[in-house]
Amino acid sequence: MRHSLPRSHQFYVTAPQPCPYLAGKIERKLFTALQGAGAGALNEVLSHQGFRRSQNVVYRPSCAGCSACLSARIIAGEFRPSRTHRRILRRNAGITRFATGPLATDAQFRLFRRYLDARHATGGMADMDLHEFAAMVEETPVRSRVIEYHLDGALVAVCLTDVLSDGVSMVYSFFDPDLRSHSLGTYIILDHVAMASEAGLPYVYLGYWVPGSPKMDYKRHFRPLEIFHAGEWRRLEEADISRVTATGIDRAAIGDQVSAIQLPATK
């Protein structure tokens, strides 16, 4: 299904399929392509409206009867690590960070395969080969970086990260599944908060927080957190969680959703 905004920008809707996060739910996404000289500006503007990038498309959940997926971002300048976070930082004090352009390597792919086999063996990426992995990393029309993390000379974690005008956006991360005691997934987020703060950028975009999903609910522990809800970013307060995460609320019709999207200003 195709929908258009002025200036002939086209949005599409995926076919319904089982939700990977909540049992018994059906997933549907609203998406558009990133292409040409305006790709960076479009990604920027849509990221500010709750969209996420995957290669050369940006998407946002548009599920009938469910609004559980909420785009989330950490307010980096106000973040204060918890006792658990401080313990994780101390445990990983020997890790070094190396940032490079969006180039895939054999070492990254080997780590990626180990991560998938241990954590997501039945997921949608389970069958990805080296060429598909390279496309995931390298097919980016926006400003992206590959952040590698090394411990004792070994590659232990990787994050594909987009750089926005107001923050860093964590597109996809993976890590050594054998280093469970290091809590590398949490460490990567903490390090991105540090990177954003060092660069004077206010936010770390985490992707979607899905309350009730064991895979995604961890994001609520990074405070202060903002969620994109009802067309605006709102600071998440504990008392608001049940109100903003109700899953029985119908979204607006697709056409109305598209008409409410703001696009980059033309020059």
Tell me: the pLDDT tens digits for 71-93? 999 999 999 999 999 999 999 99
State both tokens at 155. 């590659």
The Cα 213–Cα 112 span in angstroms is 22
Question: Could you report the per-residue pLDDT of 171-222, keeping only the tens digit for each?
Answer: 999 999 999 999 999 999 999 999 999 999 999 999 998 887 887 878 888 9
Max mean pLDDT among 22-26, 118-122, 185-189, 236-240 falls in 185-189
Three-class DSSP category at 263 = coil
State pTM to two decimals: 0.90
Domains of the chain: 72-207 (3.40.630.30)
Averaged pLDDT, 53-67: 90
Contacts of 44 (CB under 8 A, 6+ apart): 164, 165, 264
Banded pLDDT at 6 (limits 50, 70, 90): very low
